[in-house]
């Protein structure tokens, strides 16, 4: 029997949507077997669209205590719900320019004119990266939150995560957060952080770097080609990373790079 958490509407709603028939498939998809990157993770059997609907219905009711309970959950989908709710709270605060006072009072007693709701969200995110421990948790949260926050700020934090992240997930946050910069036509950080991760040993970093390079190339193909050719990076990078990076190139160009 499922125990519903009292006073935490987000957790209650997520537990109520558990679907045991989906657990095995999700566990396989997110590689939870022995020695795999998601080893030991647990699932309720909730698909992402359902999680998004749950979050959409109750993110305004979520406070820091509820987020703390959800982000530290043993269940993957509950951690995702916490991150999506955090993104919603952050985005609302950032869009409004000045904090929604009712939201601020509900969300955090610590929120003052010196520490906005948006800043509290960023601090919470960075303090809980140990729970952001799979690629979907990273990719659905880091750039709409951390990337947006850093648009007009120093970005050395991302370089530090890429170089010194305690887990491959923190390193993945370092590169994937640059998606926001790419969407604003700012490509330099993506290329620079890709350099840091060029020889990373893990396939999930290869895919992430290649993906972000591909997105940068969609904005400026000449800039991506220049980066690939400088120091002959195309020959040095892992093949998976290169395949992702040049995916949108014409076939003859793709083959030329791959044969190198």
For residues 257 and 234, what is the distance between their CA atoms, to the nearest angstrom?
7
Give the pTM: 0.92
> pLDDT (tens digit, 9 = 90+) per residue, 87-121?
999 998 888 765 555 566 666 655 554 458 889 89
- For the stretch 161-212, pLDDT in tens is 999 999 999 999 999 999 999 999 999 999 999 999 999 999 999 999 999 9
* Residue 1 pLDDT grade (very low, low, confident, very high; cuts 50, 70, 90): very low
| pLDDT computed for residue 6 by the predictor | 55
pLDDT of residue 95: 80
Residue 253, CA distances (Å) to 21, 217, 223 in order:
45, 14, 15
Q: Which of 88, 86, 112, 109 is nearest to 99 (CA)?
A: 112
Q: CB–CB of 145/90 below 8 Å?
A: yes
**Tokens (6 digits) for 166:** 């305690």
Percent over 90 (pLDDT), the chain: 84
Average pLDDT score, the chain? 92
Mean pLDDT over 50-75 rounds to 95
Closest alpha carbon to 38 in 136, 181, 164: 136
Would you say residue 142 has pLDDT above 50?
yes
Give the tokens for residue 200: 């990373």
Token pair 């409004």 is found at 96
Give the pLDDT confidence score for residue 3 in this predicted structure: 44
Q: What is the pLDDT of residue 2?
A: 43
Domain 153-260 CATH (choose: 3.90.950.10, 1.10.8.60, 1.20.1260.10, 1.25.10.90):
1.25.10.90
Place of tokens 């050719």: 229
Q: What tokens does 138 get? A: 């990273």
Closest CA to 85 of 50, 106, 60, 49: 60
Angle made by CA atoms 233, 237, 238, in degrees to the nearest 5: 165
Domain map of the chain by residue range?
Answer: 1-140, 153-260
CB atoms within 10 A of CB 187: 21
Percent of the chain with pLDDT over 70: 90
> What number of other Cβ atoms are within 10 A of residue 165's Cβ?
18
């Amino acid at each position: 029997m499922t125990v519903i958490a009292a006073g935490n509407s987000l957790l209650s709603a997520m537990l109520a949507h558990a679907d045991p028939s989906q657990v095995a498939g999700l566990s396989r998809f997110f590689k939870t077997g022995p020695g795999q990157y998601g080893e030991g993770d647990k699932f309720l059997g909730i698909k992402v669209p359902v999680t998004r609907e749950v979050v959409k219905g109750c993110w305004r009711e979520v406070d820091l205590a509820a987020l703390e309970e959800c982000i530290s959950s043993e269940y993957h989908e509950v951690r995702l719900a916490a991150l999506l709710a955090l993104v919603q709270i952050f985005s609302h605060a950032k869009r409004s320019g000045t904090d929604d006072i009712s939201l601020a009072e509900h969300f955090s007693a610590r929120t003052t004119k010196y520490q906005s709701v948006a800043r509290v969200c960023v601090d919470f995110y960075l303090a809980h990266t140990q729970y952001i421990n799979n690629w979907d948790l990273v990719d659905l949260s880091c750039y709409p939150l951390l990337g947006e926050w850093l648009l007009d700020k120093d970005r050395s934090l991302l370089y530090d995560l890429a170089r010194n992240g305690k887990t491959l997930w923190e390193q993945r946050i370092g590169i994937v957060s640059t998606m926001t910069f790419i969407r604003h036509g700012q490509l330099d950080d993506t290329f620079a952080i890709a350099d840091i991760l060029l020889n990373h040993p893990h396939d999930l970093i290869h895919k992430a770097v290649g993906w972000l390079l591909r997105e940068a190339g969609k904005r400026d193909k000449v800039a991506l080609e220049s980066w690939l050719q400088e120091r002959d990076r195309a020959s040095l990078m892992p093949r998976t990373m290169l395949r992702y990076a040049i995916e949108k190139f014409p076939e003859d160009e793709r083959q030329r790079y791959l044969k190198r």
